[in-house]
Amino acid sequence: MSTTFQLDTSTSRANPTPQPMKRLTVPKIRAHKKDGSVDEPLVMLTAYTARTAQLLDAHCDILLVGDSLGQVIYGLPSTIPVTLDMMANHAAAVVRGSYHAVVVVDMPFGSYERSPEQAFESASRLLKDSGAAAVKLEGGAQMAETVRFLNERGIPVMGHVGLTPQAVNVLGGYMARGRSDAEADKIVSDAKALDEAGAFAIVVEGVVEPIAIDVTKAVSCPTIGIGASSQCDGQVLVTEDMLGMFERVPRFVKRYEDMASVISKAAETYASEVRSRTFPGEEQTYQPKT
């Protein structure tokens, strides 16, 4: 029986699912790429809450609890201050709100870089506390030993190469990577090292398109692009960016809705009705029984 909880939208309460539900698995995601190609690209979006997960789940193969929650949820200037507690709590909510997609949780900055042993301690805590299926960590060849260490101990790992937000202070900003031959070669070799170490998928972020295509051809596991190429084996976006919740739109984002305007307009209408005393009306109040 699935231990997933679903939100009852009429009461805002979480209830156990009444029927057994079978999720996609990490091996199925890995096997999505056969003989160097995929029949249908993988779909991944970020989720940080149970309700968002519930809305996205049927449409996604993977839900990523990204450390981008630092900016999106907490208003932090970068992902650097994000903690294990933040990631574990939000990942648990996403697991409770979903039943189909593989839930992957980001390992926050400082929780895995020191040693494979540190990474195992952090990753095992994230999975035990949340029920997520896998972790994601940033870095290339220098993290291959850690990826192998985790994989051999039962923790599936999604890699991340190219523009790695946790390294923004070293990179000097959020610019596209791979414009020089040396950097392009390093991105490809980083991806190959992660693939050989056992990563079940690799996010390729902010990389000039020809290099993203080279990476996709060079590795046996699926690549998931963000600001990369449609020729990657899948795509991911930050859901709030895709929904138009922020004024700034990165080049690689396509806005599929303007939810910021929808929410603002609803709040404006609500405020007007409160101030004019037209809300609550008879339909929203309890009258004496006659």
C-alpha 209: how far from its chain's center?
A: 21
Instruction: Give the separation between CA 141 and CA 192, rounded to whole angstroms.
Output: 8
C-alpha 152: how far from its chain's center?
A: 23
**Per annotation, catalytic residue among 113, 205, 240, 268:** 205
The single-letter code of the amino acid at 232 is: C
Residue 106 among known ligand-binding residues:
yes
Instruction: Give the separation between CA 100 and CA 27, rounded to whole angstroms.
Output: 14
Strand partners, 6: 15
Q: Which residue has the tokens 């390729």?
A: 204
- CB of 16 closer than 8 Å to CB of 5: yes
Instruction: Give the separation between CA 126 and CA 124, rounded to whole angstroms.
Output: 5
Instruction: For the chain, count helices (H), then strands (E).
Output: 11, 12
Residue 181 among known ligand-binding residues:
no
Token readout for 207 is 């990389």
Query: DSSP label at 107?
Result: P
Q: Which residue has the tokens 């009705």?
A: 273
C-alpha 248: how far from its chain's center?
A: 19
Up-side HSE of residue 212: CA atoms within 13 Å toward CB? 25
Residue 85 among known ligand-binding residues:
no
| Residue 273 bears catalytic tag | no
Token readout for 32 is 């999505």
Peptide bond preceding 27: is omega within 30 degrees of 0, i.e. cis?
A: no
Please report, in range form, the residues annotated as the binding site for Mg(2+). Answer: 67, 106, 138
Please report, in range form, the residues annotated as the binding site for 3-methyl-2-oxobutanoate. Answer: 67-68, 106, 136
Please report, in range form, the residues annotated as the binding site. Answer: 67-68, 106, 136, 138
Q: Catalytic residue numbers?
A: 205
